[in-house]
A = this chain, B = another copy of it.
Amino acid sequence: MPLTGGQRARARRSNLITPFQVMALLSRARELEAQGRSIVHMEIGEPDFNTPQPIIDAGIRALQAGKTHYTPAVGLAELREAIAQHYRDTHGVTLDPRRVLITPGASGALQLILGLLVDPGSEVVMADPGYPCNRNFVYLYEGVPVSVPVGPEHGYQLSAELLETCWSDKTSCVLIASPSNPTGTLVSQDVLRGLLRVVRAHGAALVVDEIYHGLTYAESPQTALAQGEDLFVINSFSKYFGMTGWRLGWLVAPQDCVEPLDTLAQNLFLAAPTPAQYAALAAFHPHTLEILAHRRDEFRKRRDFLLPALRQIGFEIPVEPQGAFYLYADCSRFTEDSFVFAHELLEQAGVAITPGIDFGRHRAAQHVRFSYTTSIEQLEQGVERIARFAGVA
């Protein structure tokens, strides 16, 4: 039988869109666990908490009431209003709810926005290190990800100056994340204004990923929406609201982009999951927000334990991460190859972490990412094992 649907027919993008190294690590970790080994998981980008009970209860009520049909492609009107209200309450930003589109996860939001903005050959500027799916979404649309190396001197974020160095007449879009994955650093309002100045001058678009908003441990950062109505903001119920498995996110778009985004949504996924949308209506209730504030405190405690502990072992973390649940650490004191380091740490010491290569190329072999999505007790155990492995305990 001749080969069909196989090697010969495969699109070029499928060679560009690569699997995450951490997936192989995670599956090896599961294998070791199945053999009876104890593994400390510091590789996982998902909160260990279940969805808050009021949200679960709202989901159950929706199912009991038979809310199982499609919603409009842009989402439930009540939920779009609740999100707009949330921006008003939390950030003092007033927003037309019609600019809010509900999506299947932040992934759905990114897919819509880049689908609207990226032509084949379009360049999309982003920080390296950064969230790995970002460049892959650009490949999806035959665009060109322009990864700009950023280090501690830039707080691991883009700046107006860096943008100017890589701008071309094909640049269509700039993508930033605040707080960032993997570095946990923020984009200040000053830097944001600088970025917007450049983007506006060129008639391009700025996309701001705020999916870790809420999970910050000093002052609460302002949303980029405060800077104008001409940028795109992506957010999600996954991380702060603890709804990862429900697959629910949102975007806020400039008014004139809402209609074409709606059309794309109708075609790409019809609508976000209905039970999740009804459940999320409970996400902004005072009782839920209380639970979430408590969880944030817990994440802060974990960061405040893990950051000095890793530094003491000899990892360099020059910029204090202010949000998300990640520490991005220079491990060059211990290794010349963080990929090998991560694998040896797992095999020999039973600690799973993510090698830098998953976040880009810039000094990737010198970096690893630690997640604090597990209990303080587990983190203590992990730190002890890492110290012993590194020969400093």
Residues of A within 8 A of B (CB): 1-14, 17-20, 23, 46, 50-51, 56, 59-60, 63-64, 66-71, 104-105, 107-108, 111, 115-120, 122, 132-133, 136-137, 140-142, 172-173, 199-201, 203-206, 228, 230-232, 242-247, 253-254, 256-257, 260, 262-264, 266-276
Contacts and interface: CB of A to CB of B under 8 A. Distances in A.
Nearest to A139: B267
27 contacts: A2-B230, A3-B203, A4-B199, A4-B204, A4-B206, A9-B172, A10-B260, A11-B118, A11-B122, A12-B119, A13-B119, A14-B115, A14-B264, A18-B263, A19-B262, A51-B68, A56-B68, A63-B63, A68-B243, A136-B267, A137-B268, A245-B271, A246-B273, A247-B272, A273-B276, A275-B275, A275-B276
B244 A116 contact: no
Contacts of A51: 66, 68
Given A8-B203, A70-B245, A141-B142, 18 more contacts: A4-B230, A5-B232, A5-B253, A5-B257, A6-B230, A6-B256, A9-B205, A10-B257, A11-B122, A14-B260, A17-B264, A68-B242, A105-B270, A107-B269, A120-B142, A246-B274, A247-B270, A273-B276
Given A63-B60, A66-B51, A122-B11, A5 B140 contact: no
Contact of A266 (B23, B59, B119, B260): B23
Contact of A200 (B2, B64, B105): B2
A7 to B, nearest CB: 7
Contacts of A206: 4-5
Nearest to A253: B5
A70 B257 CA distance: 31
- Pick the 4 closest A-B CB pairs, nearest first: A245-B274, A5-B205, A51-B68, A50-B66
A9 B170 CA distance: 10
Contacts of A254: 4-6
Nearest to A113: B5
